Structure 1
Amino acid sequence: MKYKNYELTVGLETHIELSTKTKMFCSCEVGFAGEPNSRCCPVCLGLPGSLPVINRQAVEYAVMAGLALSCKINNSSYMDRKNYSYPDLPKAYQISQFDVPLCYDGFMTLSTGKVIRITRIHIEEDAGKLVHNKGETLVDYNRCGVPLIEIVTEPDFSSSEEVREYVEKLQHLMRYIGVSDCRMQEGSMRCDVNVSVKTAGCETLGVRTEIKNMNSVANMIRAIEYEYTRQSKVIEQGGMVTQETMRFDEAKGVTIPMRSKEDARDYRFFREPDLLCVHLDDKEIEDIKEKIPMLPSDKIKVYTEELGLSITDAQHLVKYRRISEYFDEVVRLSPCAIKASKFIIGQMFSLFSTEAEKEAFSVKVSPSQLAELVALFCEGKINSNLAKVTLDKMLLSGKGAMEFLSEEDMRGFTEEELYILCQKAIEQNPNVVSDYKGGKDKAIMALVGFVMRESKGKANADKAKETLKKLMTD
């Protein structure tokens, strides 16, 4: 239900696990699942005498994320201790950043043109995991110390659909630049959603509630819409919204209070005494920037404006970095970008049934082999049907196009042969010709089909169509 007198405001804190091999402050391996408490050490557990050492790769990934979101990078930042007591935090503090984050003042532009401001991106370590089972709660510390970045936005969202687009674009961007797999179902991307409601037209934001650890876009949308309705009802009935931390009950579709909302003072932040300042000079930042591939938004412009692809095809290709890089290599070797894209999207995509398979993108046909096939088609040596059949054989065997094409296949179809067949099509299908001349433009495709059958697929369908039009006009 939408309350006309009340406006929704949302801000997001997105926690993203970085794809490093080891943890943030120790050499323990990073991985999903596994035997509980099998990937932890004295540093993870905060045992006396253990000292943290910062993971440089995690810092680089965080800077890459910041640059991809147009953030400024602090040359000097430092780590802080965030103090709170909870069973999944054995040290009773989390090493994070408070006063001086690594990245700040960025933005993301939505499809509507609306700009979502990025307040900051800071690095921190993840906590452990509580497992609730049959009346008991167990603690798995494998996740303790896994490198995280927290991306904090300003409260710039005014609808749940804007939140959806932002989260999906952020997920795609982080995967594309290679800093995280962002698998929400595995917890490597989680969102804390801050929701408030205010009277329409009022400048002052309402009291906010925070919905913790959302790991599904669909449930995030449900939680936001439920909380908007709940808060609107409270205000409409003359009540006061309480600032508190909530969790979302997926089964019931409702938010449930966990505790009163903390502020920074409750965490008693202070400088981490066991770690030096994180210092990056301009040269180091520039070197990290060089590792970032061309961003999806920039690639779409290149594909549409320079290569002539449709916006839909361009978006399909840039959705997966490996596929985009494969396409780039094919285009480098062959000038027929549009046909290359059709082969990849039309035939290669059908080989993969899951998002993970498309992300990995492994095919037996090399870019040079596909470029050779595309060139044969663009030079008119084979037609579209033969090219498709040949590509299917190549994808099964890994062999090049020439392994499946004979001299007869590549002899092509002369203009004279095509002309004769088109005349035959017109002579033997007078009713179809009458329909076409009577204004039924699609009738010509029946004649094209006749030509393709008679030529056993060797004729060029586009040229056949042009010839038929000319003959029926003359």
Structure 2
Amino acid sequence: MAEYEAVIGLEVHAQLLTESKIFCSCSTRFGNDPNENVCPVCSGMPGVLPVLNERAVEYAAKMGMAIDCALNPVSVFARKNYFYPDLPKGYQISQFELPIAEHGKVDILVDGVAKTIGVTRIHMEEDAGKNIHSATDNASYVDLNRACVPLIEIVSEPDMRSADEAVAYLKELRSILVYLGICDGNMEEGSFRCDANVSIRPKGQEEFGTRAEIKNVNSFRNVHKAIEYEIQRQKDCLEDGEAIVQETRLYNPDKNVTASMRGKEEAHDYRYFPDPDLVPLKLDPAKLEQWKAQLPELPRVRRQRFENDFGLSANDAATITAERDLADYFEAACAAYAQPKKIANWIMSELLREMGEAKLAAAQLKLAPSDLAKLVKLVDEGVISGKIGKQIFPDLFAQGGDPEALVKAKGLVQISDSSALEEAIDAVLAASPAEVEAYKGGKTKLMGFFVGQVMKATKGQANPGLLNQLLAKKLS
């Protein structure tokens, strides 16, 4: 049986965070009533003229700079001709032969192995509207709120060889976009979406196999599952003697299958030609220098700094820097209490778990970074135990506020007074003569039993270090 390898390239559409659309002044706000954000330009009325949004150009150029693309001093908008109900003009304004940026790269890390994924091009285009199909009404509707919303399409080289690499590339790309502040990265709302081109070939073969394009997969998990399924489907086809058909396929997450949607069009089928209503876009060198100076510290640089300066593990640094707001939160907490490894441990274990359950982003947290730092300090100083810290963490997460005040209000201050602890220990030992005898007879694992009983008697408030020390002394 032949051994195959996958060849994967991704086309990512990122909606730019402009307030108005790319060729008109309509709002880009998500969630408005259908056809509320519409004017004669984005609804394709005859005789209207598009006007390019400069902020969209700025954002596209910044993304090009961030992934080491060459920016073309002159780029051209083209008409991509096809008919679909959500495309009122009968064509989409995009870029074809001369995009705004080309030949970039994105570095990824999968299972500790670094790899560079090439980026073929970044081009600007407008989004289409949205078809809404109603089984109740037995009718289809078109919402043009999204028509003419500014997008950049980021086209990778076919450099990925597994679903893991594809998801790592997507996550890094999304992090860069969000760090730049040019896209919110929301896959559920469609502001960050991906088409995957997947083919397989016998290992060692240079020539690519026939590819299938999987459209608009809306989560990292589904991207992974769709690619894995498609690789296996193509292997099964070849092993059964069937030819792979070049086509567009849709992923069904409920059944975890891809299904044929249509035969794949080639570029020439779209009859691209320069848009006569838009002059070529010429980038001003002075503007480019200004935009370059505004670029923030990017995820890969911040990740490395967190490892070098804060001593974080590669995994912790990657997780914390994946979202810019979370990385800012971490740095603010460290500024309040300079124990980065301990703060990172609380973020990785307690904070991220609560955020996941509440489905909250770092920017929405009620627990201030300085209060998380104060909680870690309370544990360090022995005011409370780590167990009590974890016990009160859900309340702090839900309500925010001063952890010291909460500890006092709940009467949870750790008992570090030797005489008070000795009283509790004496009571436990007196109530457990058989266990004391067994311990002295060599069953030293019973130490855990005594610690547990004292902790129970003190409602978890005994200082663990002092407790162990006093117990060992009394049992010797």
TM-score (norm 2): 0.80
Deviation at 1:280, TM superposition (A): 4.5
Call closer, same or farther: CA 1:80–1:254 in 2, change over 3 Å: same
1:322 alignment partner, SS class: helix
Instruction: Give the AA of the match of 1:81.
Output: A
Contact 1:336 1:378 in 2 (8 A): no
Residue 148 (str. 1) matches residue 151 (str. 2):
yes
Residue equivalent to 1:274? 278
Instruction: Give the AA of the match of 2:369.
Output: P
Residue equivalent to 1:54? 52
Query: For the aligned residues, what is the CA RMSD?
Result: 4.0
Residue equivalent to 1:255? 259
1:81 alignment partner, SS class: strand
Deviation at 1:434, TM superposition (A): 6.1
Contact 1:80 1:98 in 2 (8 A): yes
Deviation at 1:107, TM superposition (A): 2.0
Residue equivalent to 1:117? 118
Contact 1:223 1:255 in 2 (8 A): no
Contact 2:416 2:466 in 1 (8 A): no
How far, CA to CA, are the matches of 1:401 and 1:260 in structure 2?
59
Call closer, same or farther: CA 1:308–1:415 in 2, change over 3 Å: farther
Contact 1:248 1:256 in 2 (8 A): no
Q: 2:78 aligns with which of 81, 84, 101?
A: 81
1:42 alignment partner, SS class: coil
How far, CA to CA, are the matches of 1:221 and 1:394 in structure 2?
35
Contact 1:67 1:289 in 2 (8 A): no
Residue 128 (str. 1) matches residue 129 (str. 2):
yes
Deviation at 1:332, TM superposition (A): 0.2
Kindly provide the CA deviation profile for residues 312-357 of structure 1, in whole angstroms up to 9, marking residues without a partner as x: 5545534443333222112101123344345445554555455742
Question: Percent identical across equivalent pairs?
Answer: 33
Residue equivalent to 2:370? 368
Deviation at 1:273, TM superposition (A): 4.4
Contact 1:426 1:433 in 2 (8 A): no
Call closer, same or farther: CA 1:153–1:117 in 2, change over 3 Å: same
In structure 1, stretches of 5+ residues that fail to align are none
Residue equivalent to 1:107? 106
2:21 alignment partner, SS class: coil
Q: 2:201 aligns with which of 198, 208, 216?
A: 198
Deviation at 1:28, TM superposition (A): 0.8
Contact 1:60 1:288 in 2 (8 A): no
Residue equivalent to 2:216? 213
Deviation at 1:146, TM superposition (A): 0.9
Moved more, 115-124 or 148-157: 115-124
Paired residue total: 467
How far, CA to CA, are the matches of 1:24 and 1:347 in structure 2?
42
Contact 1:127 1:143 in 2 (8 A): yes
Call closer, same or farther: CA 1:131–1:285 in 2, change over 3 Å: farther
Call closer, same or farther: CA 1:369–1:435 in 2, change over 3 Å: same
Call closer, same or farther: CA 1:362–1:411 in 2, change over 3 Å: closer
Deviation at 1:164, TM superposition (A): 3.3
Instruction: Give the AA of the match of 2:281.
Output: C
Call closer, same or farther: CA 1:48–1:243 in 2, change over 3 Å: same
Residue 72 (str. 1) matches residue 69 (str. 2):
yes
Call closer, same or farther: CA 1:249–1:354 in 2, change over 3 Å: same
How far, CA to CA, are the matches of 2:420 and 2:153 in structure 1?
66
In structure 2, stretches of 5+ residues that fail to align are none
Deviation at 1:52, TM superposition (A): 2.2
Kindly provide the CA deviation profile for residues 406-465 of structure 1, in whole angstroms up to 9, marking residues without a partner as x: 69987972578778987998897784796699586x654334335545666554324544
How far, CA to CA, are the matches of 1:193 and 1:409 in structure 2?
54
Structure 1 residues 345-384: aligned runs within 5 Å: 345-349=348-352, 351-352=354-355, 354=357, 356-363=359-366, 365-384=367-386
Moved more, 330-339 or 340-349: 340-349
Moved more, 105-114 or 342-351: 342-351
Instruction: Give the AA of the match of 2:217.
Output: M
Instruction: Give the AA of the match of 1:125.
Output: E
Q: 1:186 aligns with which of 181, 185, 189?
A: 189
How far, CA to CA, are the matches of 1:406 and 1:194 in structure 2?
58
How far, CA to CA, are the matches of 2:371 and 2:121 in structure 1?
45
Contact 2:374 2:403 in 1 (8 A): yes
How far, CA to CA, are the matches of 1:463 and 1:281 in structure 2?
67
Deviation at 1:206, TM superposition (A): 1.9
Deviation at 1:44, TM superposition (A): 1.0
Kindly provide the CA deviation profile for residues 178-200 of structure 1, in whole angstroms up to 9, marking residues without a partner as x: 33233333322222222223233
Contact 1:326 1:367 in 2 (8 A): yes
Call closer, same or farther: CA 1:399–1:257 in 2, change over 3 Å: closer
Instruction: Give the AA of the match of 2:120.
Output: T
Deviation at 1:223, TM superposition (A): 4.4
Deviation at 1:205, TM superposition (A): 1.1
Residue equivalent to 1:16? 14
How far, CA to CA, are the matches of 1:368 and 1:359 in structure 2?
14
